[in-house]
A and B are shown apart, each in its own frame.
Chain A
Amino acid sequence: MAKAKFETPAFRPYPVIPIIKQGVMKDSRSFVAKPGMQESLGYPGELVDNWQEVAINKLGELLTKYRSLRVYLDTCVKCGSCTDKCHYFIGTNDPKNMPVGRQDLLRQVYRRYFTLAGKLFPKLVGAKDLTRDMLDDWYNYFHQCSQCRRCSVYCPYGIDTAEISMAAREILDSVGYGQKYCNEIIEKVFKIGNNLGLPGPAIRNTLEGLEEDIKDETGVDVRLPLDEEGAEILFIPPSADFFVEPHVDGLIGYGKVFHQAGISWTMSSHASEAGNFGMFIGSYENMRRVSMRIREAALDLKVKRIIFGECGHAWRVAYAFLNTLAGPFDFLDQRYPIPQHICEFTYDLIQKGALKLDKSANDHRRITYHDSCNVARATRMGNKPGGQFVIPREVIKACCNHFYDMPSDTIYDETYCCAGGGGLLTDELMEVRVKGALPRMEALKHVVDNHQVTHMAMICAICKSQFTKVVPYYGFDMDQIISVHQLVGDAIVLEPNDRS
């Protein structure tokens, strides 16, 4: 558990294309899933004897199932546009962390077994056999991709490395070679209901304590309800919001917003997790099983609306896939977005003048905003293009007098990942996480130096946890990471509410 030994990259005077260092991250490897975890997800417990055959068959199956995968594997022209766009390549210099280098690990095998030229003249077309070394390279380097999709923004063909990495992980799972971090978490969702493994009584105990804290601090009874049948809104936070800082202050912020809105809401101990790691491992079936809990909770609690908390990839699953995975949601109130993001909800209230906000409560803070990858590049908020960028910023600006954006090529759809997403938020990958955070840290330093920014706000549980861990390596303080809804919660002028 001692701190890993590696050097934190130095800030660069200006961004340059990194010098290649072949294989330097080859040994940076996350722990392999235990047999029980694998089996809970419907995969073989350990590496099967005929793994090569199973892997190739699985790749064949995925190529038929997802046309996009075949297109991505076929169309790369090696133009080089993506090479220096990945934060992991920028931070580690390992060419297999170039998006094209990462894709090629799968592409070479695809060519060998699924194209005529690769079957006949493998050497001429860069086709390679699926050897044990290749399988290990898949395991290591597809778990050094946070599936953030920044590279796809720059690819002239729109090749989506995330989808390739998801396919590779699904193949690895199907041969019994899954990753412990993701699969242990998915197993906990199935067994207990959330990524953390918080049983209902522990959630209730935690929420009661927080209600007391709010009452002590504000003198107002703000409720954080759990499992209350007949509430208007089912609210789904990431379970980290119950458990750690700075997330928990965001949870308090949501509670204050609902309180001021005067609307009945509830969380659920059955669907106590917004996150859905089924997406990270590319497994439609596991993603569906996790999503179904939300449908079940919505029906059981007889709610009219579903709102998601600050969790980046959850919003991608919710916005893009939930209806297909767990729909139809014809039993919900059709006048509202299904589902809705908490930032949309808060923004609507602000627009209607329904929240009394005292911006000066945040005057001791100078804020910048980190666009989380999945929200930025895979979803939308509100009813206008770019709403996922504008709405969180408008919410912040309604609560704070001092807001400054980071450089334009590091935000919006060009945002740099926190470097802990996609199933990489595990201690044994700390070197990858710290090094991959370099470009975001450089952008933060820019606004700290030029605008005296004190806090970086965000709306993703993984981003918050990742940054609180890695910013100290770059000379910042973990307290500089903050939830958007903490800013809201601190600015809200609370009034006693008859319905609470």
Chain B
Amino acid sequence: MATIEVNGKAVELDEEGYLTQLSDWSEEAAAILAGQDDIELSDSHWEVIKFLRDYYDEYQIAPAVRVLTKAIGKKLGKDKGNSKYLYELFPYGPAKQACRFAGLPKPTGCI
């Protein structure tokens, strides 16, 4: 099982690079996971990551893409409330890559 080192502590990842324990997440862990995909987290990334984590707390699932784009659009303006903007931030797809950085389980299914 792969691990990453976060503040001197080993944190376990599953075979797809997602945290195995929700409680292991920290901002440092997010930055390290993003670094593995050659992404440096900006404020724009953090907006999305924080929304995902709050939504997950309430619904035990990441938000559907339209829920996410709508929330981002309300906060940052309509020009950013679309999946094109999200794909610019998370080129591998907001659903999977952003969840990974946010420490949430990988969404499964026909997606």
Contacts and interface: CB of A to CB of B under 8 A. Distances in A.
Given A1-B17, A1-B97, A243-B64, A188 B110 contact: no
A194 B109 CA distance: 8
A248 B16 contact: no
Contacts of A197: 61, 107-109
Contacts of A184: 108
Interface in B44-79: 59-61, 63-67, 70
Given A31-B16, A240-B109, A1 B92 contact: yes
Given A198-B61, A245-B83, A2 B111 contact: no
B40 to A, nearest CB: 15
Contacts of B109: 185, 188, 194-197, 239-240, 243, 275
Nearest to A252: B66
A465 interface: yes
Interface residues of B, number: 27
A199 B58 CA distance: 11
Interface in A182-207: 184-185, 188, 194-199, 201-202, 205-206
A206 B96 CA distance: 18
A461 B110 contact: yes
B19 to A, nearest CB: 12
A2 B110 contact: no
Interface residues of A, number: 38
B15 interface: yes
B48 to A, nearest CB: 16
Contacts of B67: 205-206, 209
A242 interface: yes
Contact of B65 (A181, A245, A425): A245
Question: Does more than half of chain B's interface fall in helix, strand or loop, or is it mixed?
Answer: loop
Given A199-B60, A210-B66, A427-B96, A243 B111 contact: yes
Interface string A310-334: 0100000000000000000000000
A469 to B, nearest CB: 8
A181 B107 CA distance: 11
A202 B61 contact: yes
B97 A465 contact: no
Given A1-B36, A206-B64, A465 B110 contact: yes
A462 interface: yes
A428 interface: yes
Contacts of A240: 109-111
A196 B65 CA distance: 13
B16 A427 contact: yes
Contacts of B95: 243-244
A444 to B, nearest CB: 21
A244 B36 contact: no
A243 B67 CA distance: 9
A242 B64 contact: yes
Interface of B: 15-17, 36-38, 59-61, 63-67, 70, 83, 92-93, 95-97, 100, 107-111
18 contacts: A1-B100, A31-B15, A181-B108, A185-B108, A194-B109, A196-B61, A196-B109, A198-B64, A199-B60, A199-B61, A209-B66, A213-B70, A238-B110, A239-B110, A243-B65, A244-B64, A248-B65, A428-B15
